[in-house]
Amino acid sequence: MELVKGKVEVELRGILSEEEFDNLSNNLKKRYSYERDNKKTLFYVTTGFILKIETKKELDTFFLIVKNGDETKNILEEIEVKLNISDLPKMIKILEILGYSKVNTVEQRRTNYFLEDNIVLSLKYTNDWGYHFEIEKMVKLFEAEKTKKKLADKCGFLI
């Protein structure tokens, strides 16, 4: 996602069983457009924000992403910078020099479903979390709490 002045990401997550994951995936594919979005993510250990690098095997780019805010509130400012994959070793070195050397590398199998009202529901599998989902929407800050409720209601309807 690109940073849009005055907007934040509202995001909810949940764990699924493999059966729930498969049933939800089959149901969503019948109702919504979707894309595969497999990626490798480097999550850096930080305090007060999320710092990560995402790479996609099929692209010659990577993304440096900072999510600023209180993750427990599910409302974060997201800043994303797209860079050429050839610069990845330099970016990793820069982060190490800045003191970010503790990192967790995560391979994600992921499918993004595009729901109404610009809501994105991602079904994901990682070794760390197993089968899970993430539902999100970019909104203006004053709409965040109302959007969080709407996403929670949407989760109950879909699962």
Domain boundaries, the chain: 7-158
Q: Collect the ranges in the chain with pLDDT lower than 50.
A: 1-4, 159
pLDDT of residue 137: 95
The residue with tokens 């539902």 is: 135
Q: What is the DSSP letter of 45?
A: P
For domain 7-158, give the CATH number: 2.40.320.10
Reported pTM: 0.86
* Residues 19-51: b if buried by 16+ CB within 10 A, e if exposed: ebbeebbeebeeeeebeeeebebbbbeeeeeeb
d(CA 77, CA 62): 19
- Its sign, for the CA torsion 55, 2, 47, 120, is negative
Burial tier of 104 (Cβ tally within 10 Å: 0-12, 13-18, 19+)? exposed
pLDDT of residue 157: 60
In sequence order, the 6+-apart residues with CB closer than 8 A to the CB of 150 are: 137
pLDDT of residue 70: 80
Computed on alpha carbons and rounded to an integer, the radius of gyration of the chain in Å comes to: 16
Burial tier of 137 (Cβ tally within 10 Å: 0-12, 13-18, 19+)? buried
d(CA 13, CA 120): 12
- Encode pLDDT of 71-106 as tens digits: 888 899 989 999 999 999 999 999 999 999 999 999
pLDDT of residue 1: 40
pLDDT of residue 156: 77
The residues facing 9 across adjacent strands are 76, 138
